[in-house]
Amino acid sequence: REKKFISSVSEQAADFFASSFTGSDFETLILRSHLWVERQLEKIIENSVNKPNRILESRFNFSNKLAVVRALVETDKNKNLFLLVDSLNKIRNQMAHNIENDKLQVLIKKLNSDIILGENNQLEDESTQKLKITLAQMYGVLIAINEVIVLEKEGETITFVG
pLDDT value, residue 1: 43
Which residues neighbour 6 within 8 Å (Cβ) at sequence distance 6 or greater? 144, 147, 148, 158, 160, 161
DSSP 8-state assignment for residue 22: T
d(CA 26, CA 33): 11
Give residue 6's pLDDT.
63
What is the DSSP track for 49-114?
SS-THHHHTTT--HHHHHHHHHHHH--TTTHHHHHHHHHHHHHHHHHHH---HHHHHHHHHHH-TT
Q: What is the pLDDT of residue 103?
A: 82
Question: pLDDT digit of tens for each residue in the chain (162 aa)?
Answer: 455 556 667 676 777 776 777 667 888 889 889 999 999 999 999 999 999 999 889 989 999 999 999 999 999 989 999 999 999 999 999 888 876 667 888 888 898 888 888 777 788 778 888 888 899 889 888 988 998 898 888 888 777 665
Q: What is the DSSP string of 128-162?
A: HHHHHHHHHHHHHHHHHHHHHHHHHHTT-EE----
How many alpha carbons fall within 13 Å on the CB side of residue 103? 12
pLDDT of 83 reads 96
Pairing of strands 157-158, 2-3: parallel
Question: What does the pLDDT read at residue 47?
Answer: 96
